[in-house]
Amino acid sequence: MLGKFIDKLSMIAAVIACVILIAMTIMILYEIILRSFFASSTYVLDEFVGYGEAVMTFMSFALALRDGIFIRVNLVTANVGPKVRRALEVASCAVGTVLFSFLGFYILKLAVRNFERGAVSNSLAETPLWIPQGLVFIGVSLLVLQFFALTVRFSMGAPIIDKHEEL
């Protein structure tokens, strides 16, 4: 039940990442048109595209992990038996849960500190830094939840999905 809820959240985050990608494309095209035909610029869209890239990346990680297309190194798991492979998958998902929890903690700490201090970017837009950092934190949190869900699923005998084996 909880796993399905995490999967739904991961799907919503992936849709948000797609919308961000489309918005970034439109912003880049707009900036190209301004510079090419009107000798002008917004002077801030490159900053927003950078934030969008970071947020889009982290928002898409959880679904990529669930679908077995997250970055993997199969050097060891490809050459062991199914029981050892399952143990390695459970262990790697548990380690991923812990490591990305630490990353999420420090990203949250940074976002809260920047919110409290009112820190803004050094650009014309003066974007409050806690906004992109908070969105990255949401993406990392979803990744942690997905790692945890996979740890539980694999521990209980669910099939291990690895799209790279199909290639």
Would you give per-residue pLDDT tens digits along the chain (167 residues)? 678 899 999 999 999 999 999 999 999 999 999 999 999 999 899 999 999 999 999 999 999 998 888 777 677 777 788 888 889 889 999 999 999 999 999 999 999 999 999 999 998 889 999 999 999 999 999 999 999 999 999 889 877 776 655 54
Q: How many domains does the chain have?
A: 1
Q: Where does residue 54 rank: exposed (0-12), middle (13-18), buried (19+ CB within 10 A)?
A: middle
Task: Select from 93, 76, 19, 80 the least CA-distant residue to 52.
Answer: 19
Structure token digits, residue 74 = 């199969």
pTM of this structure: 0.89
Q: Can you give the residue range of the structural domain that contains 82?
A: 2-166
